[in-house]
Amino acid sequence: MNAIASHLVAASTSHIDPDIVISARDLVKAFNSEVVALDRASFDIRRGSFVSLVGPSGCGKSTLLRLVAGLIGKSAGELSVLGHGVTGPSHDVGMMFQRPTLLEWRTAVENVLLPTEVQGTTTDADRRRAIELLQLVGLRDFEFSFPRQLSGGMQQRVALARLLQTGANILLLDEPFGALDEFTRERLNLELLRIVDDVEATVLFVTHNISEAIFLADQVMVMTPRPGRLAKIVDVPFERPREIALMQTPEFNSLVGEVRSILGGH
Amino acid sequence: MSLATDGNLSMTDVAHERGSLAGRVMRHVALFLGVMLVWELASYYQFVDPLILPRPTAIAAALVNMVLYQGTVWFHLGVTLWEAVAGFVIGSAIGIGLAVAAGLNESFRRYISPYIIALQVTPRIALAPIVIAWLGFGMMPKIAIGALICFFPPFINTLTGLLNVDEDANEMFRSLGAKKRQIFFSLMLPNAMPIIMAGLKTAISLALIGAIVGEFISASEGMGVLMQRYTFALNMASSFAVLVILTAMGYVLFLLMEWADNWLVYWRHDARMTAISRKKAKAWAGVAGRR
């Protein structure tokens, strides 16, 4: 990290709004000092909100997510999570990927317990919580199945339970159901809404599907590629809980049209 | 996929299609006996010189004589088995150890790889006379030759397995704040286990080859010595009997490796996986509060 960047981080901690959990100012990520993956993104994400990141491949949405997760370092600008500059992975932030990334030699419940194990010793309370989480994601009776014995959708449910087991309040989801069929995906999206509402998490959800982005979110961050830029943040005014029928309404479709036109210019 | 599993699959799956299991086995036995009979007759009527290719019955007789009455074969078998297993253990330990070091440390990997490649492209069996010149005539040189020949598959397989970790899984561990040691033991090593076991299966046969070749070059005991003695005396039936014993020994070693694979890489074997799944459900009954 260079001197200017760390100076900016120090400056950013001076004006803490307790309701803002993720804050970025002119955040830049360049690979090999040439390819600009993310160009000067600025945004604030409020506690408990569900924010979608939508855009075509190469728009920097996954880069943005990895920056927030502390998996990669920024090139310039400011980025803070819960008022602190991001320097590496934090227990406040959990991440879920497009692929389930389960350990095939562990049962479902042992996979869910991985975050606890990594952080220290596992107690019976942790084990009970893991079982409860598997039930919460609809996997009662599959706690002791191995990943290879589960369908793709069920594997992703295990990954979701594992994410919740981290106890993190900020959940970063990188196209979590992108590899699943349309029906499974729709159902899991609805369950995801119910679950994150339950655990009162702040969610950053990456997708390339505009309708999905709008349907799930309070705000949609629309991103455009080459270089990756945050083009606009669109507010989604629809009430919760939401039903699938919402997607048929003219209001919903006009919002889809708005996002599409922002993306269309590129 | 291993040979033994394939064999099991064909024994069960195909049995459903083409009659009963007993019928299948009968056909295999009949085919084997048929081939033996043709061989026996060809030898008996001198189509082939029995001095070069002895009759199956003569081989069987030599085998029975060797195993039941002479008894010295057990000693020679023990020597060869010990050489092969010791060579296998040492070679595999070196191979896996080097691979772990190379897998964890990139600069070590860079420096070591030219030597590993050089050793791999050298026909290592050609080193056997040198090794014997160094280590003398006992069992040590045979063990060393076995280790030298067999270390490469465990090495390259372990290295490949350790480096072929899914990038997303790696990121997942890092996002959990896992330390390097945790990533190694909880992700990289189990992930590499199936391919490491495949390397070990190849290694055990190579170690056996190393031991036998070492015995050919210079030894006073072991199955290689026995084989040479009988062949030089033109006692071909006994030579073939030695070969049959070596085949049986190779097969037992192979089965042992299959068994180890079944235990260590249980998640790739459906029956074992289901059994473990059930066992864990039982062990967790107190926590889960049901079942």
Cβ-Cβ pairs closer than 8 A, A with B, add up to 81
**Contact yes or no for B186 and A118 at CB 8 A:** yes
ω into A241 cis (within 30 of 0): yes
Residues contacting residue B12 through CB under 8 Å, at least 6 positions apart: B21
CB A163 within 8 A of CB A170: no
Give counts: helices (H), strands (E), chain A. Answer: 9, 10
Residues A196-214 as b/e (b if ≥16 CB within 10 A, e otherwise) read: beeeebbbbbbbbbbbbbb
Report how far apart the first and last C-alpha atoms of chain B are (Å, whole number).
Answer: 35
Alpha-carbon span A67 to A74, nearest angstrom = 7
User: Over its length of 291 residues, how does chain B's per-residue pLDDT go in tens digits?
Assistant: 333 344 444 444 444 555 788 888 999 999 999 999 999 998 888 888 878 888 999 999 999 999 888 888 999 999 999 999 999 999 999 999 999 999 999 999 999 989 988 988 888 888 888 998 999 888 899 999 999 999 999 999 999 999 999 999 999 999 999 999 999 999 999 999 999 999 999 999 999 999 999 999 887 899 999 999 999 998 999 999 999 999 999 999 999 999 999 999 999 999 999 999 999 999 888 776 654
Burial class, B107, CB count within 10 angstroms (exposed 0-12 / middle 13-18 / buried 19+): exposed
Alpha-carbon span B220 to A257, nearest angstrom = 88
CA distance B107 to chain A (A): 21
Question: Which parts of chain A fold into alpha helices (H)?
Answer: 3-12, 61-69, 108-112, 114-119, 124-136, 152-165, 182-199, 210-216, 250-264
What's the topology of domain A3-92+170-181+192-264?
Rossmann fold (3.40.50)
Task: Identify the DSSP state of B283.
Answer: H
Calculate the average pLDDT of chain A.
Answer: 88
* Strand partners for B77: none
Output the CA torsion sign for A112, A113, A116, A118: negative
Which pLDDT score is estimated for B137?
A: 82
Nearest to B174 by CA among B182, B164, B165: B182
Which secondary-structure segment (H or E) carries A42?
strand A35-46
Which pLDDT score is estimated for B18?
A: 59
Output the CA torsion sign for B92, B97, B98, B102: positive
Domain ranges of chain A: 3-92+170-181+192-264, 100-167
Q: Tokens 């200017």 map to which residue?
A: A4
Crossing angle of helices B21-44 and B3-17, in 10° steps, is: 110
Q: Is B173 on the interface with A (CB under 8 A)?
A: yes
Q: Is B88 on the interface with A (CB under 8 A)?
A: no
Alpha-carbon span A26 to B111, nearest angstrom = 42
CATH class of the domain whose range is B61-266: mainly alpha
CA distance B62 to chain A (A): 49
Output the CA torsion sign for B175, B177, B181, B185: negative
Alpha-carbon span A189 to A183, nearest angstrom = 10
pLDDT tens across A31-72, in order? 887 788 888 889 999 999 999 999 888 888 989 999 999 999
Percent of chain A with pLDDT over 70: 93
Residues contacting residue B146 through CB under 8 Å, at least 6 positions apart: B83, B84, B86, B87, B88, B90, B91, B206, B207, B208, B209, B210, B211, B214
> Coil, helix or strand for B20?
coil
CB A133 within 8 A of CB A112: yes
Q: How long, in residues, is chain B?
A: 291
HSE value, Cβ hemisphere, 13 Å, CA-based, for B73 = 21
Which pLDDT score is estimated for B72?
A: 87
CB A251 within 8 A of CB A234: no
* Closest CB from B171, B173, B267 relative to A105: B267
Q: Is B273 on the interface with A (CB under 8 A)?
A: yes
Alpha-carbon span B108 to A217, nearest angstrom = 48
Is the pLDDT score of A7 beyond 50?
A: no
Between the alpha carbon of residue B11 and those of residues B5, B19, B129, the distances in Å are: 10, 11, 44
Residue type, A8: L
CB within 8 Å of chain A, chain B residues 62-81: none
Between the alpha carbon of residue A51 and those of residues A223, A233, B239, the distances in Å are: 13, 10, 77
- CA B119 to chain centroid, in Å, comes to 21
pLDDT tens across A19-41, in order? 899 999 999 999 887 788 888 88
Which pLDDT score is estimated for B290?
A: 52
Rounded to an integer, the average pLDDT of A89-106 is 92
Q: How long, in residues, is chain A?
A: 266
Q: Which long-range contacts (CB under 8 A, 24 or more apart) does B55-58 make?
A: B55/B237, B58/B237
Give the Cβ contact number of residue B119 at 10 Å.
14
- Place A5 in a pLDDT band, splitting at 50, 70 and 90: very low
- Per-residue HEC secondary structure of B245-280 comes to HHHHHHHHHHHHHHHHHHHHCHHHCHHHHHHHHHHH
Interface predicted TM-score (ipTM):
0.85
**Contact yes or no for A103 and B172 at CB 8 A:** no
CB within 8 Å of chain B, chain A residues 151-190: 166
Q: Tokens 């480096």 map to which residue?
A: B163
The model's pTM is 0.83
Which pLDDT score is estimated for A83?
A: 87
Alpha-carbon span A199 to A178, nearest angstrom = 23
Mutate to test the interface with B, among A103, A121, A134, A155 (most CBs of B within 10 A): A103
Domain ranges of chain B: 61-266
Which pLDDT score is estimated for A19?
A: 87
Question: Which parts of B45-71 fold into alpha helices (H)?
Answer: 56-64
Is the pLDDT score of A14 beyond 70?
A: no
**Contact yes or no for A95 and B280 at CB 8 A:** no
Q: Is B151 on the interface with A (CB under 8 A)?
A: no
pLDDT tens across B68-86, in order? 888 889 999 999 999 999 9
